[in-house]
Structure 1
Amino acid sequence: MIKLLSSFLMVGLISTPVVAKDILSKLTVSDGFQVSLFAKNVENARQIAVSKKGIVYVGSRKAGNVYALIDHNSDGVADKKMVVASDLNMPSGIAIKDGDLYVAEVERVIRFKDIDKHLKAPKFEVVYDALPIERHHGWKFIRFSPTGELIIPVGVPCNICAEDERFGRIFALDTNTKQLKTLAKGIRNSVGFDYHPSTQALWFSDNGRDMMGDDMPPDELNRLSQEGEHFGFPYVHAGAIIDPEFGKGKKIADYSSPALALGAHVAPLGIHFYRGKQFPSSYSGQLFVAEHGSWNRTKKAGYKVAVATIEQGRVVKYTPFITGFMQNEETFGRPVAFAEMADGSLLVSDDYANVIYRVSYKKIR
């Protein structure tokens, strides 16, 4: 592991403040890799999407904004930041398809047509507006499936509860017919998923319930095996723990177990299968995981980017990749989500430090 060097960033011709430079000096990354700042002052940066022209779009949760970041000279540093939409209802999730930018608010999905050409005065249309209005776990992560459906998770509006079929699921939306179907259920709150580049299997993160102590229940990485599969919530957690409030009369064997049980409260958010060519071949098709970090644990946990090594549909190794976001119980950053650039570098958002990192690889000589 090697320590990262601070770098400078220009966004809107304003030099990097000390706080942005300091976050880099805290981080440690796997050997051969380096982390730099692609952009700073991106308030509450959440999901990222990159257009064919290389414009980086970023959603937010608390800020209510959607940003566009432009690297005009392709030097790996954004030199212009634009707010393309504001005053939205927790627009955390974004995705791009056929040049259109889709943004998921709590209760609806909106679309900005041909967004790259309309950055200065973008207009949107409503794609779907029949999602629940509850804001508790109401923010989204969205992505298009290999078959063209828009995948939308809806978390439960509680810490632990048995809700109706509108909640605790991952849905697939046909954006043409507006038909919504359930892909997976028994999920507390997933804000990260991706399709395996070879098998096309859907993998997703899930955040476990609170108030069962520091070490229970585990958060999860899951793999969907069949449509409509039930992953246990609120009855069974991590394929091993009967819930003390809702689990009476339930059997562990009736629900799907996770592909990997993570630490309790580490809060896995974005996950991403690496498809690029810049990183060593050992990273090809492997799963990056952003552990956002605990908020109510006696001793903080998570606060890292890790790599899940997957072989034949199974996680065989789980390795820290970027650490240092939290040190001695002090928080410096909280990783959220990923996106790949055309050159194979990896972008990582941080909604605490309000930055976008760029992870690149240089061969060790």
Structure 2
Amino acid sequence: MPAKSLAATVAATLFAMPALAQSNLEKLGEFKQTGVTEFQFVEQGGDNAAAIRETLKRIKLPAGFKIELYAIVPDARHMAVGPQGIVTFVGTRKTDVWSVTDRNKDRVADEVKRFAPSIEFAIPNGPCFSTDGFLYIAEQNRVLVYPAAEFFYESPDVAAFNVVPKGELIPVEEESYNHTARVCVIGPDDKLYITIGQPFNVFAPEKMDLYTQKGIGGIIRMNRDGSGREVYSYGVRNSVGLDINPANGELWFTDNQVDGMGDDIPPGELNRQTAKGQHFGFPWYGGGDTRTNEYADSEPPADTVFPAVDMVAHAADLGMHFYTGKMFPAQYRGGIFSAQHGSWNRTTPVGARVMFTAVNEDGSAGESRPFAEGWIDENGEYLGRPVDVKQLRDGSLLVSDDLAGAIYRISYSGE
């Protein structure tokens, strides 16, 4: 572990714990058994799988691509593909994290089971991996690390340690039921980046100092052991998707805009960050360059960074991923695949699709266009709501869907 040895992490964790009856997390940190022996498994066939496959027949893709059901995963949100290619971990906005395994490598999951059943999770939406195999899971108000998740996931007891203890990611009094889905990524600086959405549509001015200090409504950065925490990005309403451009190390992220301003404003955002401390406009701007009513009489930051791409209003842009594979044609390499979850309060629903945004040689955004769509039917009903996009080692894409409770695989054959 780069920041500390595993032994040092264990010692620090134990030293900080009160002298009470051991919790399961404490036991796991000492490599002790918890007594939990049962897994929850998810059935992969049956009528539900058949209905999802029927829906997938209506999804439109560019020529040569196809989409198939990869796994039934209840409430599937953000994903982390293990560096060894053994297992994919899938977060939820509820209390479960799922491990998804394709044992025979036929590109269809053979097994989906609850990960770490001896641990109680609270909105474990955001898993992410380091290149050396450490799994991090950002919960509503905690971050845990699993140093050998691809090995230990076969057991109900999984080596686990605090990175940010429960109640310390944000002040407990700021916990909310709204905008609680965190996501994370490990940067080229070997630091952990975590999004922290602010809980309001537009927060009141009296919250400004606290939120600025804690990084609420922003993106924070810290060492992988939790030390050295700092605010990396400001003026972010509710980001639920981020990735690093492998070509130059820049951070990109999606952001969800202010509601209640109309069907067609403000735009959703795909943002490019080129330096620490940049401000992306919220709460003065509700999305793009659209000013909010609440801060119309207040001067916005002079150095506001506007979106690299204005997305369609209220499409709810969430997970994103820079494509580095070789399966897809050359025009997709180095570009961004991103998921639009779909609008919840627009008169005519929009979104529920996967977008592709080209990235130019100078690092700027090129054209953004739909890549996979068709999850809204002729009646305006959602048949699925994409959340996240991740790449398998073979260069195919996984797309999670928390409405259908599924993960899809998009591949290219050129036929």
TM superposition score category, shorter chain reference: over 0.9
1:338: Cα distance to partner? 1.5
Residue of structure 2 in register with 1:127 after alignment = 163
Work out whether residues 98 and 115 of structure 2, in 8 Å CA contact, stay in contact via their aligned partners in 1: yes
Distance 2:44 2:324 in 1: 33
Work out whether residues 387 and 401 of structure 2, in 8 Å CA contact, stay in contact via their aligned partners in 1: yes
1:252: Cα distance to partner? 7.4
Residue of structure 1 in register with 2:364 after alignment = 314
Task: Please state which structure has a larger fraction of its residues in strand.
Answer: 1
Distance 1:21 1:298 in 2: 28
Residue of structure 2 in register with 1:334 after alignment = 385
Work out whether residues 124 and 137 of structure 2, in 8 Å CA contact, stay in contact via their aligned partners in 1: yes
Query: What is the letter of the counterpart of residue 207 of structure 1?
Result: N
* Distance change >3 Å, CA 61–CA 287, structure 1 → 2: same
1:90: Cα distance to partner? 0.6
Residue of structure 2 in register with 1:3 after alignment = none
* Among 172, 178, 184, the residue aligned to 1:142: 184
1:256: Cα distance to partner? 1.2
* Among 45, 57, 60, the residue aligned to 2:89: 57
What is the DSSP-based 3-state SS (H/G/I as helix, E as strand, rest coil) of the residue aligned with 2:261?
coil
* Distance change >3 Å, CA 239–CA 91, structure 1 → 2: same
Q: Give unmatched runs, 5+ long, in structure 2.
A: 1-41
Work out whether residues 65 and 85 of structure 1, in 8 Å CA contact, stay in contact via their aligned partners in 2: no
Task: Please state which structure has a larger fraction of its residues in helix.
Answer: 2
Residue of structure 2 in register with 1:351 after alignment = 402
Which aligned pairs between 1:149-188 and structure 2 lie closer than 5 A?
Answer: 149-161=191-203, 162=205, 163=207, 164-165=211-212, 166=214, 167-176=216-225, 178-188=227-237
Tell whether 2:308 aligns with 1:259: yes
Tell whether 2:67 aligns with 1:32: no
Q: Give unmatched runs, 5+ long, in structure 1.
A: 1-10
* Distance change >3 Å, CA 224–CA 343, structure 1 → 2: same
Distance 1:50 1:251 in 2: 39
Between Structure 1 and Structure 2, whose CA radius of gyration is higher? 2
* Distance change >3 Å, CA 177–CA 354, structure 1 → 2: closer
1:117: Cα distance to partner? 1.9
Tell whether 2:290 aligns with 1:236: no
Query: What is the letter of the counterpart of residue 275 of structure 1?
Result: T
Work out whether residues 234 and 247 of structure 1, in 8 Å CA contact, stay in contact via their aligned partners in 2: no
What is the DSSP-based 3-state SS (H/G/I as helix, E as strand, rest coil) of the residue aligned with 2:305?
coil
1:100: Cα distance to partner? 2.4
How many residues align? The count is 353
Query: What is the letter of the counterpart of residue 95 of structure 1?
Result: C
1:192-246 deviations in whole A, cap 9, x for unaligned? 0111121111110000011111111111011002211011100123442221111
Residue of structure 2 in register with 1:324 after alignment = 374
Tell me the percent identity: 37
1:113: Cα distance to partner? 2.7
Residue of structure 2 in register with 1:4 after alignment = none
Residue of structure 2 in register with 1:43 after alignment = 74
Residue of structure 1 in register with 2:53 after alignment = 21
Distance 1:125 1:195 in 2: 25
What is the DSSP-based 3-state SS (H/G/I as helix, E as strand, rest coil) of the residue aligned with 2:157?
coil
Residue of structure 1 in register with 2:133 after alignment = 99
The alignment's TM-score, normalised by the length of structure 2, stands at: 0.81
Work out whether residues 242 and 252 of structure 1, in 8 Å CA contact, stay in contact via their aligned partners in 2: no
Query: What is the letter of the counterpart of residue 185 of structure 2?
Result: R
